[in-house]
Amino acid sequence: MTKQYTYKFRLYPNKEQISFLDEQIGYNRFVYNFFLERSINLHKNYGIKTNYYTNAIILPLLKKGFSFLKDANSQSLQATLKNLDTAFRNFFQHRAKFPNFKKKINTNSITIPQHFAINNNFLYIPKLKTPLKIKLHRKVSETVKSITITRNPSSKYYINMLVEKDFALLPKNNNVSGIDLGIKDFAVITTGTNISDKQSIKIANPKYLIKAQNRLKTLNRQFAKMTKGSKNKSRFRSKLSILHERVANQRKDFLHKLSSRTVNDSQVIILEDLNIKGMVKNRHLSKSISDVSWGIFTGQLKYKTDWYGRDIIKVNRFYPSSKTCSTPGCGYIKQDLKLSDREWICPVCGTTHDRDINASDNLFLE
């Protein structure tokens, strides 16, 4: 089955190429922010909704008003308008937060939809005379449909190549997995073909990750206290962004392994809806880290189930999976279960429940 797939490789631009890429990235950020602000104002003041087409008509006028845009690759600017359009659509369809203004210090990118070439570890793009060096550590045999060049906060450059890739579907099996995402453990996964052969395993957050995240927290606190605009602070920022990257990569790696294994094991994967879950579970806890991991993990499950012909089911948003007794036929709901209750005994059937395994069992039984 053919699916969209992105290859990612590191780019090694020289000094001149870096200033070229930074300029192009800057033009696109400018255009994105300009049209984001314009869309907000038009909507607020006149109730007018904008979209890609209404924005694209204005683009030539913008170029006249801001002459530096004449050096920009026009097709990239159009792609940026499409990205803004997608960001708004995702927001209105409740898939994402309201689009943010792009900041220079965050990850920034340019999309190049056409007129690029990749040849022997070199990338040729419009308006740049010299080829960029790529490290192709995997073979790309598919036709590349478009490319995106990104610069991350620690000033590394990457190329994302969008292709249509063939995926061989995994052979079907009868396993079902219920996944309960947590704070203390990353997840509890209950897998089996029916009630009698199901097994629950707790997936702990890896120790190295917890350690790195704690260190990051300490450094973030130090960073916040430093004098604004000082040399020390900017030096500290680049150190911090490198560590951020390392933690993000370690986390992604852990989540990739877990999501691949889960998709490999099970025909059907059952998950709780995260929006509500986050609100209920995290009220008293530091939430940002687990939120990010949950989001990445469910995203991976979503596209991997799609690639390999598995099914994913999101369960009813208000289903109280921790509070409901998972013993078949019982279903008692313990309304006063607190977050701190790691274990509880069902007053109806007498079963002792581990909080998280009970929740995961309930998702399995759905």
Q: Is 22 one of the catalytic residues? A: no
Per-residue binder mask for Zn ion (CB under 5 A), 325-344, x = binder: x-x--x-x------------
- The stretch near Zn ion (CB under 5 A) out of 230-238, 252-260, 293-301, 318-326 is 318-326
- Nearer residue to Zn ion within complex by CB, 129 or 336: 336
If one asks whether residue 313 binds Zn ion (CB under 5 A), the answer comes out as no
Query: What is the β-pairing status of strands 268-272 and 176-181?
Result: parallel
**Residue from 1, 96, 313, 348 binding Zn ion (CB under 5 A):** 348
Q: Is 180 one of the catalytic residues? A: yes
The distance of closest approach from Cβ of residue 349 to Zn ion in the complex, given in angstroms and rounded to an integer, is 3
The distance of closest approach from Cβ of residue 348 to Zn ion in the complex, given in angstroms and rounded to an integer, is 5
- Nearer residue to Zn ion within complex by CB, 258 or 325: 325
Rounded distance, CA 116 to CA 124, Å? 5
If one asks whether residue 319 binds Zn ion (CB under 5 A), the answer comes out as no
Q: Is 361 one of the catalytic residues? A: no
The distance of closest approach from Cβ of residue 357 to Zn ion in the complex, given in angstroms and rounded to an integer, is 14
The distance of closest approach from Cβ of residue 365 to Zn ion in the complex, given in angstroms and rounded to an integer, is 13
Name the region of 101 (left: φ>0; alpha: ψ -120 to 50; beta: rest).
Answer: beta
The tally of CA atoms less than 13 A away on the side-chain side of residue 172 is: 2
3-state SS of the chain is: CEEEEEEEEEEECCHHHHHHHHHHHHHHHHHHHHHHHHHHHHHHHHCCCCCHHHHHHHHHHHHHHCHHHHHCCHHHHHHHHHHHHHHHHHHHCCCCCCCCCCCCCCCEEEEECCCCEEECCEEECCCCCCCEEECCCCCCCCCEEEEEEEECCCCCEEEEEEEEEECCCCCCCCCEEEEEECCCEEEEEEEECCCCCCEEEEEECCHHHHHHHHHHHHHHHHHHHCCCCCHHHHHHHHHHHHHHHHHHHHHHHHHHHHHHHHHHHCCEEEEECHHHHHHHHCCCCCCHHHHHHHHHHHHHHHHHHHHHCCEEEEECCCCCCCCECCCCCCCCECCCCCCCCCEEECCCCCCEEEHHHHHHHHHHHC
Type of residue found at 334: K
- Nearer residue to Zn ion within complex by CB, 48 or 349: 349
- Nearer residue to Zn ion within complex by CB, 48 or 330: 330
Size of the site for Zn ion (CB under 5 A): 7
The distance of closest approach from Cβ of residue 187 to Zn ion in the complex, given in angstroms and rounded to an integer, is 23
If one asks whether residue 346 binds Zn ion (CB under 5 A), the answer comes out as yes
- The stretch near Zn ion (CB under 5 A) out of 111-119, 171-179, 203-211, 347-355 is 347-355
- Nearer residue to Zn ion within complex by CB, 28 or 190: 190
The distance of closest approach from Cβ of residue 200 to Zn ion in the complex, given in angstroms and rounded to an integer, is 17
Per-residue binder mask for Zn ion (CB under 5 A), 212-231, x = binder: --------------------
- Nearer residue to Zn ion within complex by CB, 181 or 359: 359
Selecting among 16, 253, 265, 272, the annotated active-site residue is: 272
Report the candidate in 362, 2, 329 with the shortest Cα–Cα distance to residue 165.
2
The distance of closest approach from Cβ of residue 332 to Zn ion in the complex, given in angstroms and rounded to an integer, is 5
Give the CA angle between residues 118, 121, 125 to the nearest 5°: 40
Selecting among 23, 180, 185, 341, the annotated active-site residue is: 180
- Nearer residue to Zn ion within complex by CB, 126 or 350: 350
Selecting among 164, 356, 361, 366, the annotated active-site residue is: 356
Catalytic positions, written as ranges: 180, 272, 356
Which residues contact Zn ion (rule: CB under 5 A)?
325, 327, 330, 332, 346, 348-349
